[in-house]
Amino acid sequence: MNKFLKINLFIYFILTATCNALAAEKVEYLKTDWSFKGLFGKFDRGSLQRGYQVYTEVCSSCHSMKYLSYRNLTEKGGPEFTEDQAKAIAASFEVTDGPNADGEMFKRPGKLSDKFVMPYENVKAAQAANGGAYPPDMSVLAKARGGGVDYIYSLLQGYEDPPMGITLDEGVYYNKFMYGNKIKMSNQLSDGLVEYADGTVSTVEQMSKDVTTFLMWAAEPHLEARHRMGFKAIVYLIILTTLVYFSMKRIWSRIETEV
């Protein structure tokens, strides 16, 4: 009996320590007003276009978005660039194609049907260029990471000097919103880093919000259509429930109550 009690106490202390550790690690993320949240949420077109600009000028040198094609930039519910704008964007990148008649690969300007150009040829090349760390693909990052958009938005603004007593290895940076507070990606954003085409002031906060909005759209491009469908379904159910209620009321009104 004493042995059984000791085992139970041991399990209790282990569970308590684990719960306390998890509670201690829980971080309150930065909050902002996301236009796409809620039943009637929609993407801010300006923010999506600015977010694509931040991704292209800041993030795309390391992070891929292998599930997106340049034609997606013109689709309804997304950044909604015009076809000419999207063609110009695609043509600004060189794409490896082939083989040609001589059996050789060649470079050509990108087309709408092309996937976003990858920054590295393979995973090993990416790791070699980043000190052994692999920059994750950003196509579905907003849905794959715990905390979602709030986590990404906070992470981009969470760089600071490490607290007293914490020593970081070379090439490692302190970020208060990163799991474990250690990250191999250096701070990529600074005020005025990007010159927005629409004249918006590019503060770190603004760029973080815009690129996170773009990543949310990339991860869930049909979000607006889903919201519209959900709203229609709710209206339909309300109408159906009302009709059923009055139908049942009329049916039961014909039945006399027994006294």
Q: Is the pTM of this model over 0.75?
A: yes
Closest to 173 (Cα-Cα) out of 164, 162, 188: 162
Query: Please, what sign has the CA dihedral across residues 242, 244, 250, 256?
Result: negative
How far is it, in rounded angstroms, from Cα 36 to Cα 47? Answer: 11
Q: Mean per-residue pLDDT for 57-65?
A: 95
CATH of domain 22-68+115-245: 1.10.760.10
- Percent of residues, the chain, with pLDDT higher than 70: 86
Question: Taking the domains of the chain in order of start, what are their residue ranges?
Answer: 22-68+115-245
Give the tens place of pLDDT for each residue, 156-167: 999 999 998 888
